[in-house]
Amino acid sequence: MVSDVTEDAPQTRDWPTGIGFVGLGAMGFPMARRLARQGYAVSAFDNAPEVRQRAATEDGITEVATAAEAARGSQVVFTCLPNDRIVREVYLGTGGLVDAVSPEAVTIDCSTVSPGVTRDVHAAFLDRQVHHLDASMLGSVPQAETGEIGFVVGGDPGAVARVGPLLEILGRFSKYAGGPGSANQIKLIHQTLVANNAVAVAEAMALCLKTGTDLDCFYDVVCNGGGFAYSRYFEKRVPRMRDGDFSPLFMLDLMKKDAGLAQQLARNAEVGTPLLDQVIDQLESASLGGAGREDFSAVARIYEKAIGRPFGREDSD
């Protein structure tokens, strides 16, 4: 695991004795399952009863009825939640984690949220001597399932070191970013590149198909020709689009949310983002067209409509 946090961290099952996990969605469930399969006792909560029940079928995971119950007695509490509003509610709302987490515990929010939300939660925990970390994730469902998530982590470096063994179970990479909210900022800026790339790739594919250019040849040139057009997104997503596969690895509506948070970060910093603004318009158009719960590569839908044909091969289902 790549990390630049060098302080010693516990390496035995004596710490932590229990882990709380709040948010068992597409990313959260495989993360909680990996921790349980490594021998940790995980108390897990999600708002959806059927999701909690699925988690409870895993050895080592105990289904609980509230987020606060997942936190009580846990030395580490992970959260993996959809947006700013829900993170504030879970941590700071009535019956929230701020009143349930034990002193000296560490909370780790893996959600993609505004830096200000993280700083507010961090401030609320100070009197309780609880360390709150923002641990923004890089990757999607396949990486969560295989333990290859990349983490960018902000907060107290000593607390980051304490939870290092847990992050090693969940991911292949961990980079310390600085104080509270710093990891959120890096993740949001990172997402501007991802969103921009998704739209640029869709435009290039549309241009290939509309002009009769051999798209398979173009793919080989981009991936293997040594030019600067290559990206991991291009290599991984173009074959799926050619197969007509937009099943969600990371939903378009979540990418739209992340890009919007990045846009607000830029507004607050008085930085113009004309390219990002146009990309968000395209994501919104795709969402309004019904692609919001598909993979974010489904921004291609609006380009398919524009050229009058799908990106998939003629022989694909």
CATH number, domain of 268, equals 1.10.1040.10
Compute the average pLDDT of residues 290-315: 94
For residue 193, is it within any domain? yes
The pLDDT score that the predictor gives to residue 16 is 76
- Please determine, for residue 64, whether its predicted confidence score (pLDDT) is greater than 80: yes
Least confident of 54-63, 117-126, 160-169, 253-262: 54-63
> Which active-site residues does the annotation give?
187
Could you tell me what percentage of the chain is helix, strand and coil, using 3-state DSSP and rounding each to the nearest 5?
A: 50, 15, 35
The pLDDT tens digits of the residues spanning 163-189 come to: 999 999 999 999 999 999 999 999 999
Q: Which two tokens stand for residue 141?
A: 């469902």
226 plus 159 within the same structural domain: no
Percent above pLDDT 90 for the chain: 90
**Residue 9 counted as domain residue:** no
Last residue within a domain, chosen from 180, 201, 224: 180
Q: How far is CA 85 from CA 26, 88, 179, 197, in A?
A: 19, 5, 22, 28
Which of left, alpha, beta for 152 (phi over 0: left; psi -120 to 50: alpha)?
A: beta
How many domains are contained in the chain?
Answer: 2
DSSP structural state of residue 172: E
Beta bridge partners, 79, equal: 22, 109
Model confidence pLDDT, tens digit, residues 84-110? 999 999 999 999 999 999 999 999 999
User: Which backbone phi and psi does 79 adopt, to 5 degrees?
Assistant: -130, 140
Answer left, alpha or beta for residue 130, where phi above 0 means left and psi between -120 and 50 means alpha: beta
Q: How many angstroms separate the CA atoms of 249 and 238, rounded?
A: 14
Q: Is residue 111 part of a domain?
A: yes
Do 31 and 97 fall into the same domain?
Answer: yes
Residues 282 and 299 in one domain: yes
Q: What is the pLDDT of residues 117-168, one digit of tens each?
A: 999 999 999 999 999 999 999 999 999 999 999 999 999 999 999 999 999 9
DSSP secondary structure of 23-37 = --STTHHHHHHHHHH
Domain co-membership, 175 together with 195 = no
Residue 6 lies in a domain: no
State which of 145, 180, 215 marks the end of a domain. 180
Q: Which whole-number Å values give the CA distances from 87 to 34, 36, 104, 129, 182, in the listed order? A: 23, 24, 21, 20, 17
Residue 313 lies in a domain: no
List, as own/partner pairs, every contact residues 307-314 make where C-beta atoms lie below 8 angstroms and the sequence separation is at least 24, other chains included. 307/206, 307/209, 307/210, 309/209, 310/244, 311/205, 311/206, 311/209, 311/241, 311/242, 311/244, 312/241, 312/242, 312/243, 312/244, 313/242, 313/243, 313/244
Is 27 within the bounds of a domain?
yes
> Does one domain contain both 215 and 193?
yes
Residue 115 resides in a domain:
yes
- The alpha carbon of 180 is separated from its chain's Cα centroid by a whole number of angstroms, namely 17
How does residue 7 score in pLDDT terms, banded at 50, 70 and 90? very low
Same domain, 40 and 145: yes
pTM for this predicted structure: 0.91
Q: Same structural domain for residues 33 and 137?
A: yes
User: 10 Å Cβ neighbour count for 284?
Assistant: 17
The domain in which residue 205 lies consists of 186-307
* Residue 261, domain member (yes or no): yes
Domain boundary among 180, 200, 219: 180
